[in-house]
Amino acid sequence: MRNTQEIKQFVQKWKNSADPSTQIPYDYKPICRDLLLHDEELVAETIDILKRNISSWAERHSEAYANKKDLPFLAKRDLADKSKWYMKSLEAETMPMKSSGSTTGEGFEYLRWEPFLYFIEGENHYDLILDEYEIPQNPHIMYFFNSSFGSGPRPISNTSKSKNFMEHHGTKRTAMVHYANTKFQKEKEEVFQKYLFRYLNVKKMDVIFAPGPQINKLCSYIKKENYKGKLCELLSNSNEKLLDEDAKFLLENNYVSHICDHMRCWDGGASFFTCRDKNYHLMDNLSWCVENEERLISTDYFSLACPFVKFWNGDRCKIGEKYQRCSCGRLYREFKFLENRPFAIKGHSINEYRKKLMETGLTEIKQVNCGNDFIEIVSNREIDPVRKDEVSEIFKSHKLRFKVVPDQILASKKVHNRNPSEKVEPK
């Protein structure tokens, strides 16, 4: 098998090394991408070297990890003092980053080690996905994220000249990127949706790259316009996960041929994608993730500039312990996200909202339903106007709607609508 001998040479060179080394990630690069296609024992030996290297590096060079070897995990608060965490010797090779706090509601600063940016995010993430789904060398990609190219007076604009590899969905293809103007879309949504389908009838898309809320809007546009055409070959979903019913609707009606759900989380290194056979694959070749009481704990092999070892960024999941061999050829462990953040409150802590709602003492509030750009407060009886103002203050960053539904009707709806990504119920 391709690269088997190179993997064996890597293991032979480093398996008995007692000292951590910056050379190990560099030596590992040629064998990284195809690692999980190989024999399980060889894979385990390789991953053990990578985990041991970053763990030893952190213990030896990062004061933040001193005397914490036996802890089950570290959280963001344990890495708050950057002077005790960052590697001064590597700071010249880093880029300061800050997470959005989409899981916990709190932003978090860290460093990205630049020598491995294109290797990880390009070759082993975006390029890998387009290769997996056999997207051609010069694809047409519609981009539904904010971008300077996607601003201005036009609903959609295009260029192949962007230097942002994320917009091109990798580094190895020369893509014509079609930018959806999300500002225009928000201000003139009906005009945008009609223009979008005229555009798609003329321009054939290989890929649509979008977060879950935008995919949800696409589905609603299709239904409103009774659109019958093809959207694209591959729907590439990252950032916020698409709803299961949206995926089913798009696939069953042949609006898309394939859907790939994927993520690279730089604060911690957790990475996954869905293969052509629709299995979720944790990218154990890039980082090692385990479950601790439903917490996603990750160790990033390449985080030498600011080590992430047994780190919990706030995500929750279920991870299987044993490898299986997917029909795509890769080893994989069962993986599932447990807390998909509702679209309208992305960037804030669900538990924070739950706690504040409980503190109001309003027992009549039964659900918090989330639309694309609003939050709906469902109660079993009318809420006093003064108390409504109190609830509005809790959700002051969002549009708010109040709805009264009697208990018997609400109970019936609960039985038939169990999608956990659409509602948050105060406990």
* pLDDT at res. 415: 36
Max intra-chain CA distance, the chain: 72
Q: Clarify whether residues 395 and 351 are in a common domain.
A: yes
Q: Residues 70, 46: contact at Cβ < 8 Å? A: no
Give the Cα separation of 326 and 324 in Å (integer): 6
Average pLDDT over residues 152-167: 95
Half-sphere exposure of 363 (CA within 13 A, CB side): 0
Q: Clarify whether residues 382 and 400 are in a common domain.
A: yes
Q: Is residue 32 part of a domain?
A: no
Overall number of domains in the chain: 2
Domain CATH code at residue 143: 3.40.50.12780
Q: How far is CA 140 from CA 160, 176, 365, in A?
A: 9, 5, 47
Q: Which of 340, 361, 392 is the last residue of a domain?
A: 340
Give the Cα separation of 99 and 15 in Å (integer): 34
Q: Clarify whether residues 316 and 355 are in a common domain.
A: no
Q: Is residue 197 part of a domain?
A: yes
Q: Does pLDDT of 391 surpass 70?
A: yes
Average pLDDT over residues 107-121: 94
Average pLDDT over residues 291-309: 96
Q: Clarify whether residues 172 and 192 are in a common domain.
A: yes
**Torsion angle of alpha carbons 164, 165, 167, 168, nearest 10°?**
130
Q: Clarify whether residues 263 and 233 are in a common domain.
A: yes
Q: Does pLDDT of 412 surpass 80?
A: no
Q: Clarify whether residues 330 and 413 are in a common domain.
A: no
Q: Does pLDDT of 57 surpass 60?
A: yes
| pTM, entire model | 0.81
Q: Does pLDDT of 19 surpass 60?
A: yes
Q: Is residue 76 part of a domain?
A: no
Q: Clarify whether residues 277 and 368 are in a common domain.
A: no
Q: Which of 340, 362, 378 is the last residue of a domain?
A: 340
Q: Average model confidence (pLDDT) for the chain?
A: 89
Query: Which residues of 286-388 form beta strands (DSSP E)?
Result: 287-292, 295-300, 311-319, 324-325, 331-332, 335-337, 365-370, 375-379
Q: Clarify whether residues 234 and 360 are in a common domain.
A: no
Range of the domain at 416: 344-424
Q: Clarify whether residues 362 and 395 are in a common domain.
A: yes
Q: Is residue 67 part of a domain?
A: no
Q: Is residue 154 part of a domain?
A: yes
* pLDDT at res. 106: 57
Domain CATH code at residue 370: 3.30.70
Q: Clarify whether residues 327 and 349 are in a common domain.
A: no
Half-sphere exposure of 191 (CA within 13 A, CB side): 12
Predicted confidence (pLDDT) per residue in 393-402, tens digit: 888 877 788 8
DSSP symbols for 183-199: HHHHHSHHHHHHHHHHH
Q: Clarify whether residues 175 and 265 are in a common domain.
A: yes
